[in-house]
Homo-oligomer: A and B are copies of this chain.
């Protein structure tokens, strides 16, 4: 079964409270909708910083959430001198510390920075049809001159979803993923 492959650049999710610390009264604007229903790229950017280094122009994704989370690649983590764990979105307990700088203020977080697990967005209905349960791990075959098979791809069903694999930029660059790359879903017995 074919599945579209989508690469997520480093990005930030914010709570309403943290948005206001960073951006003050600046309106939280939709720049463009993403493939997942309701999700959008906002026109708000922050700098993320550690004692070692900083990465500027990191986009805030919307809508605002019940937790603040910074998702970076291992390449970014090396630059920043961090060693964040691989986690599913929302699972930020004991993840890496990070400082977020906005135009209106600065936020020092003791935890919240993760490397995102490879994961698949899928509707609850379609997951059931395929016999897949939440957090089950599958594999994806990627074609092409940098192709191969990636393991530990986590199934994340939601009521509404666009069926696709989400990878970070290291996986994207390592596997040579392009705009129209289709993977092959492999379900292990």
Contacts and interface: CB of A to CB of B under 8 A. Distances in A.
Interface string A66-86: 000000011100100000001
The A contact surface, by secondary structure, is: mixed
A171 to B, nearest CB: 5
Contacts of A150: 146, 148
Interface residues of A, number: 22
Interface stretch (A13-21, A96-104, A172-180): A172-180
Interface of A: 73-75, 78, 86, 118, 139, 145-152, 169-171, 173-176
> Which 5 A-B pairs have CB atoms at the shortest separation, nearest pair first?
A174-B174, A74-B173, A170-B173, A148-B150, A149-B149
